[in-house]
Amino acid sequence: MRVVVTGGAGFIGANFVHLALKERPDWTIIVIDKLTYAGNKDSLPDSGYEFYKLDIAIQNQELEQVIKSCDAIVHFAAESHNDNSLESPWPFIESNIIGTFRLLELARKHHKRFHHVSTDEVYGDLELDSSDKFTETTPYKPSSPYSSSKACSDMLVLAWIRSYGLDATISNCSNNYGPRQHVEKFIPRQITEILQGRQPRLYGSGLQVRDWIHVDDHNSAVIKILESSTMGEYYLIGANGEQTNMQVVKKLLKSLGKSEDDFVHVEDRAGHDLRYAIDSTKLQTTLGWRPRYSDFDAGLEQTIEWYRNNQEWWEDAKRVTENNYLKKGH
Ligand SMILES: NC(=O)c1ccc[n+]([C@@H]2O[C@H](COP(=O)([O-])OP(=O)(O)OC[C@H]3O[C@@H](n4cnc5c(N)ncnc54)[C@H](O)[C@@H]3O)[C@@H](O)[C@H]2O)c1
Q: Looking at ligand 1, which residue's alpha carbon is closest to its atom 30?
A: 55
Handedness of CA 1, 54, 23, 154 (dihedral sign): negative
Q: How confident is the model at residue 91 (pLDDT cuts 50, 70, 90)?
A: very high
Instruction: List pocket residues of ligand 1, CB cut-off 6 Å.
Output: 6-7, 9-13, 33-36, 38-39, 55-57, 76-80, 95, 99, 117-119, 150, 173, 175-176, 182
Is residue 231 within 8 A of residue 168, CB to CB? The reply is yes
Taking 90 as the threshold, does the pLDDT of residue 24 lie above it? Answer: yes
330: pLDDT strictly greater than 90:
no
Please tell me whether the overall predicted TM-score, pTM, comes out greater than 0.95 for this model. Answer: yes
Q: Can you give the pLDDT at residue 150? A: 98
Whether 106 shows a pLDDT value over 90: the answer reads yes
From the CA of 55, give the closest atom in ligand 1.
32
- Ligand 1 atom at shortest distance from the alpha carbon of 57: 31
CB atoms within 10 A of CB 209: 18
pLDDT value for 229 = 86
Q: What is the mean pLDDT of residues 23-34?
A: 98
Does residue 272 register a pLDDT over 90?
no
- Looking at domain 2-181+213-242+275-294, what is its CATH homologous superfamily? NAD(P)-binding Rossmann-like Domain (3.40.50.720)
pLDDT of the residue at 188 = 98
Predicted confidence at residue 328, as pLDDT, reads 80
- Residue 179 host element (H or E): none
Query: Is the pLDDT at 327 greater than 90, yes or no?
Result: no
pLDDT value at residue 220: 98
What is the percent of the chain with per-residue pLDDT over 90, rounded to a whole number? 92
Confidence grade of residue 314 (pLDDT, cut at 50, 70, 90): very high
Share of the chain above pLDDT 70, in %: 100
Buried b (16+ CB within 10 A) or exposed e, 26-56: ebbbbbbbbebebbbeebbeeeebebeebbb
Find the range with the poorest average confidence among 20-34, 123-137, 155-169.
Answer: 123-137
> Has residue 326 got a pLDDT over 90?
no
Cα of 119 to ligand 1 centre, how many Å?
Answer: 11
Mean pLDDT for 256-270 is: 90
Residue 202 · residue 263 · CB < 8 Å: yes
Model confidence over 204-237: pLDDT tens digits?
A: 899 999 999 999 999 999 999 999 989 999 999 9
- Catalytic site residues? 120-121, 146
* pLDDT at residue 298 in the model: 96
- pLDDT over 90 (residue 129): no
CA distances from 59 to 55, 65, 116, 146, 306 (A): 8, 11, 19, 22, 37
**pLDDT at residue 270 above 80?**
no
Task: Write out the DSSP string of 34-56.
Answer: ---TT--GGGS-SSSEEEEE--T
Helix or strand or coil: residue 28?
strand
pLDDT tens readout for residues 148-157: 999 999 999 9
How confident is the model at residue 291, as a pLDDT? 96
Mean pLDDT of 242-248: 96
Mutate to test the pocket of ligand 1, among 4, 6, 12, 213 (most ligand atoms within 8 A of CB): 12
CA 261 – ligand 1 centroid, Å = 32
Determine the pLDDT at residue 268: 80
102 pLDDT more than 90? yes
DSSP assignment letter at 122: G
Spans of all domains in the chain: 2-181+213-242+275-294
